[in-house]
Amino acid sequence: MKRVVCPGSFDPITFGHLDIIKRASALFDEVVIAVLVNQTKKTLFTVEERLEMITEVTTQYPNVRVDSWTGLLVDYCERHDVKAIVKGLRAVTDFDYELQMSQINLQLKGIETLFMSTAPAHSFLSSSLVKEIATFGGDVSAYLPEPIIEKLTARLSSR
């Protein structure tokens, strides 16, 4: 069984993430979307909320499941028999940092990283930018699925 992991903060999940998840699910037996907990990073949604949101918008993929993890990604991979990490690369600006992480993960535990090029339609997309657009009342319907827009709008208006 070829199990891979798509890690991230997913605060919140966007069409860019979903594109990578969909394409990975067509290539591997199982794709685990892992919400990585970073205690120092301030997020808009709790881990539980992010897990719930991801589950809601990935139900159409039977070989995709959702999990969370605090700690090193390579330790998650080792514990859960994950063969490789799948990451989307949006632009050359992503490359330096992603290459560095992939090399460290390879050296730490021999875990491979596979990069998929982001679809051109999503190459500029990030959760941070989407949150900024939504904060100022901009239209985010091209970037997020409807259930996520509802939750994002509700969260921003409650602050």
C-alpha closest to that of 5 among 53, 73, 51, 56: 73
Residue 96 tokens, joined: 């330096």
| Gyration radius from the chain CA atoms | 15
Establish whether 80 is a catalytic residue: no
Which residue among 25, 122, 127, 151 is the active-site one? 127
Establish whether 17 is a catalytic residue: yes
Which residue among 17, 50, 87, 122 is the active-site one? 17
Which residue among 50, 87, 90, 122 is the active-site one? 90
The per-residue DSSP string of 73-91 comes to HHHHHHHTT--EEEEEE-S
Please give the Cα distance from 96 to 100 (Å, whole number).
Answer: 6
For ligand PNS, the closer CB: 7 or 118: 7
- Smallest gap, in angstroms, from Cβ of residue 75 to ligand PNS? 8
Establish whether 90 is a catalytic residue: yes
Positions in the binding site for ligand PNS (CB under 6 A) = 7-9, 36, 72-73, 101, 104-105
Establish whether 3 is a catalytic residue: no
- Smallest gap, in angstroms, from Cβ of residue 36 to ligand PNS? 4
**Residues assigned a catalytic role:** 17, 41, 90, 127
